[in-house]
Structure 1
Amino acid sequence: MANFSFQRGILPPSVGVRQSWAIAGAPSESTYLAIHVKKDGQWKLDSVRETEIPDGPAASLALQELAWLVGEWGSEDPDAPLSASVTWTKNKAFLNYSFKVSAPDVDDLEGTQVIGWDPAAGTIRSWLFDSDGGFGEGTWTKKDNAWIVRFSQVLPDGRKASATNVYTMIDANTFTWKSIGRKVDDEFLPNVEEVKIVRKTSARPAKETNTGVEKTRSRDAKK
C-alpha cells in the first residue's frame, strides 16, 4: 500500500518533489523522497531518499528490555512476604507494577509503580505511590544484567528520602533486589540486603517487587 503527493511549492518550474510512504507486506513501513527534474519537456527521476519507520511507539521499544518483569512475582523469604503483579498498559506505553508487602504487627503496605520512557531526558523513569501516602520517582540505568534505580521519595510526614535500588535478573523466572544508600533527610538507614524473588506463574515476566525497591518506607524511616 502506498500514498504520495507531488509538490512544486517554491521550487523552480523544472524541479518537482515526490514524497511518499509505503508499507511493504505487513512488517515493514518506510517513507521516501524523490526529486524529479524536467528535461526536454519530460519529468525524469534525479534522486531518491528512503527512510525506514521504526516499529511501534518509542516508549514501547524502550521498555522492551524490562518486558521480562511482566507477570506475577513473590519472595522466597517467609519472614519478608511480598507479592507483585506487573502488566502492560494500552499500547505498551507503560509498565504498571502493583505490589504488596507484609510485616508483623503493621498493616500491609500496598502501592503502584508506573514505569515509562521519558523522551525528553532519554531515559526510563518510574513514579511510585503507596498506601501510606508516600510518593516518589526513580531514574533507571542498565548495567550488565542489572537495573540501577536512583529513587527519591516524599514520606507521608513530609520528610524526604532517597535510595539506590538494584534489580538483578538471574534468569527468566528469578531476580534479586536490594536497596543501598538509604537516607531520610540527613539520617542514613541500614541497607536492605539482597532478596530473591521468583515468578509465581509462567504467564509472563513480571515487574519486580518494586515494593521493596522503590521503598525507603516511612515505616523504615521511623525506626
Structure 2
Amino acid sequence: MKTPTAIASLLLLAAIPAVAQDKSAAAPAPAAAAAVSPELAAARETAAAYVAAYNKGDAAAVAALFAVDAEWISNEGVQTSGRAAIEALLKSVFADSKGRTIALGIEAARRITDDVFSVRGEATVSDPDGSSAVNEFTAVHVKRDGKWAITEFTELDDESAPSPATFLQDLAWFAGSWKSTEPDGMKCTVEWSPSGSFLTRTFSIPGAEGDEAREGTEIIGWDAEQEQIRSWVFESDGSFTERTWTPDGDRWLVLSRTVLPDGEVGSEEITVSKVDDDKVSWSIASRSLGGETLPNIGPVTIVRDK
C-alpha cells in the first residue's frame, strides 16, 4: 500500500480563498511581489503552520482541519471516514515514518458557492534516505460555524487519473427504486451505467387533474475539467436541466438551471438530505423562472420502494 502522503497537505486548504491560485503556498512572498491579499496571506500562514505540525508528527493538529464527518480516499481507493479515523491514520503514518518532511503546493482553488470551494494541489514528501514521493489531490471545503472545514478529499494516482466512479461513491447509496410520500405519485429508479462511470435516474410523475404526466432521465457523472459532480436532466416535454452537486456531510447542495421548451430559463437550489439508507428528504429554495421569484418547495420525503 502506498503511503498516504497527500493527506498531509490538507491543513493548508482551510484558509485558501475561493479563487486564489498559488504554486508555492508555504513559501514567503518575494519582496518585489505585488501586494498580497489578506486571504492569500492567511493561506500561506496556515501552510507554514501545517508544515511545522506535520514535521513534528502532530496528527491531532492536521485532523483538526477536517470536518467531523469528512471523507478521505487514497490513491488506491481506500476510504477513511471521519476526523477521528483520519487522525488515527496519520498517527500510524508518523509512527512508521520518523524524520519524514513535507512541502506543499496549490495548483488552483475554485469557488462553488459563498460557503463551498474546491482545491487541487500536490504534496511532496521526503524521507531521510533522500527518496521522495509526489501526490496530487482534490478537496472540497464547506464553511461551518464561520470556519472552513475539509469535507471531502481525494488523493490522485501519480500515473493516471482516478476512475470517474471513485468520485460517485458518496452517492452509491442512491441506487435503487424510490417513491414519493406525497400525493404526486412520483417514482424513480437510480442505476449504475454498465461501465460504472455514471448513475442514471429515470423518473415518472403521473399528471394531476388537468396536467400531463411527466417522465425523464437524469445522468449523473464526474466532470474532470470542473472537478465537480454534475448531472443533466432531459424531460418528456422537451425541457432540460444542468446541475452541479456538492457534498456537505449527509446532504448534497445541488445548483440547478433549467431551459423550458419555449426557451424560458429557471433556476433553483436543491438540498438533498440522506435521512437513512431508505429515506431521503429534499427541499428547493431560491427558485426563479423568467426572472420572477417562485415560492420554495419542501421539505419532501421519498422512501425506498421495496
**Fold conserved (TM > 0.5)?**
yes
- Structure with the higher strand share, 1 or 2: 1
1:65 Cα offset (Å): 0.3
Return the index of the structure with the highest Cα Rg.
1
Q: Give matches, 1:50-199, under 5 Å.
A: 57-77=162-182, 79-105=183-209, 106-199=211-304
Gap change, CA 1:66 and 1:100, over 3 Å in 2: same
1:165 Cα offset (Å): 1.0
Structure 2: any 5+ residue segments left out of the alignment?
1-75, 78-128, 135-156
Q: Distance in 2 between matches of 1:63 and 1:117?
A: 7
Structure 1: any 5+ residue segments left out of the alignment?
1-27, 30-45, 202-223
The letter for the 2-side match of 1:95 is L
Give the structure, 1 or 2, with the largest relative contact order (CA under 8 Å, sep 6 or more): 1
Number of aligned residues: 157
Kept after mapping to 2: 8 A contact 1:57/1:93: no
Kept after mapping to 2: 8 A contact 1:135/1:153: yes
Deviations 1:72-111 (A, max 9, x none): 000112x221000000012211100000112312221100
Gap change, CA 1:140 and 1:50, over 3 Å in 2: same
Deviating runs (4+, > 2 A) in structure 1?
A: 46-58
User: Which of 181, 200, 214 matches 2:305?
Assistant: 200
| SS of corresponding position for 1:64 | helix
Kept after mapping to 1: 8 A contact 2:184/2:208: no
Q: TM-score normalised to the size of structure 1?
A: 0.65
1:54 Cα offset (Å): 8.9
- Structure with the higher helix share, 1 or 2: 2
Q: What does residue 104 of structure 2 align with? A: none
